[in-house]
Structure 1
Amino acid sequence: MLTTADWQALRITLALAGVTTAILLLLGTPLAWWLARTGARWKVAVEAVVALPLVLPPTVLGFYFLVALGPHGPVGGTLVALGGEPLAFTFSGLVVGSVAYSLPFVVQPLQDAFAGIGRGPVEAAATLRAGPLDRFFTVIVPLARRGFLTATTLGFAHTVGEFGVVLMIGGNIPGETQVVSIAIYDHVEALEYGQAHLLSGLLLAASFLLLVTVYALNRRFQMVGL
């Protein structure tokens, strides 16, 4: 049976993944659209920054965020000076780190989807006097729905599986910053393999079902030509 701490870790993990994915879609969509269409010279540098979490060890990224969000860092120090609290070892700090860590898993699928659409549909909508926002939401978004589905799934699943970044930024505070991946590590460290098996199996089954659903929906979209 799952313990109270395990249920709390599951709740925090799902909340973190949900909030992170929503923020990533809001921030990543315009960024991916710009990357797919721009010819700017510094596009390569922006793409490199977005892709950094793919090659950078999570503990390195987590360490720099811990320094930045701590009471003596540029972000945490500013918040303290304004009468607030530093973001290190808080749920909000986990969100900040998770957004940065999962950014490429949302931006890159969206960028590929936008690039695959081309300029033809947008130009056709423009000739019908559709405004920029109208063109984007009525033409681009429906055509890129497979990219949005993939981006949402990868962003959510990648956040659920985080360990190094969340451990560095949030520590291991039960009921506040302890996520499932850290709870599993705690169970293994305490030789509680039964609990570790239960949590790991739950994540394994959920991840498998999530991926099967995504592949099935993408196949269906492909069959109907979307």
Structure 2
Amino acid sequence: MDTTSLWVTARLALCVTPLLLLVALPLSYFLVFSRIRGKRFIEATCNLPLVLPPTVLGFYLLVAMGPASPLGKSWEALTGGRLVFSFSGLVAASMVYSLPFAIQPLKTSFSKLDTRLVESAYILGLSPLKTFVRVILPNSLGGLASAGVLVFAHTVGEFGVALMIGGSIPGKTRVASISIFEHVEMLDYAGASTLSLVLLVFSYMVLLILGSIK
């Protein structure tokens, strides 16, 4: 069994999940509680990876993160390495790809909160930040857990974006889904079957976990 690709996949998911939750928490708060005009356009942009084909998203990320782009040039000047076809680039692309899977559970959880709790916190003089930390977050742990599980699982199963941004560098960017594809290309169905079984069992466990979260 290709344990190296499984390790890269696990490492990627473990990096993406906490980083994306840090981004999604304030963004979800903004989308639920903000009253500014045009909020629906921001929300549509965040949800775009849900409907955009992964190869299309991967292509635009490749252009945005390539060595000729401002982002790519800045990264290379800062680190000395390229953003594309690197693990760091794969993490960044995966965060964009899995963003809706973090935002949706958090938005749902925030929307279900009793608004009187938030209003009472403001009346007592708590700032928006303290209200978020002391009131909103403790009452949204179920949504936070669901978001974390979904992001982790979605990152484990990604293919198109991972291939476009990370390529297939053994031990560095070749994740399990790409390894399965390459096993099939080489007619190594036994190797593909073993890896597929691992991901199947993992996916089933994820569904059981999500079903137990309240």
TM range (shorter): over 0.9
How far apart are the structure 2 equivalents of 1:83 and 1:23?
Answer: 20
CA contact under 8 A between 1:114 and 1:140: conserved in structure 2? yes
Alignment of 1:68 with 2:59, yes or no, is no
For 1:173, give the aligned amino acid.
I
The Cα shift of 1:209 comes to 1.2
Counterpart in 2 of 1:190?
Answer: 186
State the TM-score, normalized to the length of structure 1. Answer: 0.90
Asked if 1:26 corresponds to 2:26, the answer is: no
- Extract unaligned runs of 5+ from structure 2: none
User: Does the 8 A contact of 1:76 with 1:85 survive in 2?
Assistant: no
2: CA distance, partners of 1:211 / 1:152: 13
Match of 1:224 in 2: none
Distance (whole Å) between structure 2 residues aligned to residue 130 and residue 44 of structure 1: 28
The range that moved more, 128-137 or 140-149, is 128-137
Amino acid in the other structure paired with 1:37: F
1:97 alignment partner in structure 2: 93
Q: Give how far 1:68 is off.
A: 2.0
TM-score by length of 2: 0.94
1:180 is aligned, of 176, 184, 190, to 176
In the alignment, residue 170 of structure 2 is paired with which amino acid?
Answer: P
Which of residues 108, 118, 123 is equivalent to 1:122? 118
Counterpart CA distance in 1 for 2:74 and 2:20 is 24
Distance 1:66 1:119, change over 3 A: same
Contact 1:53 1:61 in 2 (8 A): yes
Question: For the residues of structure 2 that align with 1:50 and 1:93, how far apart are their CA atoms?
Answer: 19
Distance in structure 2 (CA, Å) of the matches to 1:81 and 1:142: 41
Report the counterpart of residue 157 of structure 1 in structure 2. 153
Distance 1:182 1:131, change over 3 A: same
Stretch moving more, 80-89 or 112-121: 80-89
In structure 2, distance between residues paired with 1:64 and 1:128 = 47
d(CA) in 2 for partners of 1:47, 1:106: 13
Q: Is the 8 A contact 2:32 2:110 kept in 1?
A: yes
The change in CA–CA distance for 1:81 and 1:211 in structure 2 (over 3 A counts) is same
Using the TM superposition, give the Cα deviation of residue 82 of structure 1 relative to its aligned residue in structure 2, in angstroms. Answer: 5.2
Q: CA deviation at 1:119?
A: 2.1
Provide the alpha-carbon RMSD of the alignment.
1.5
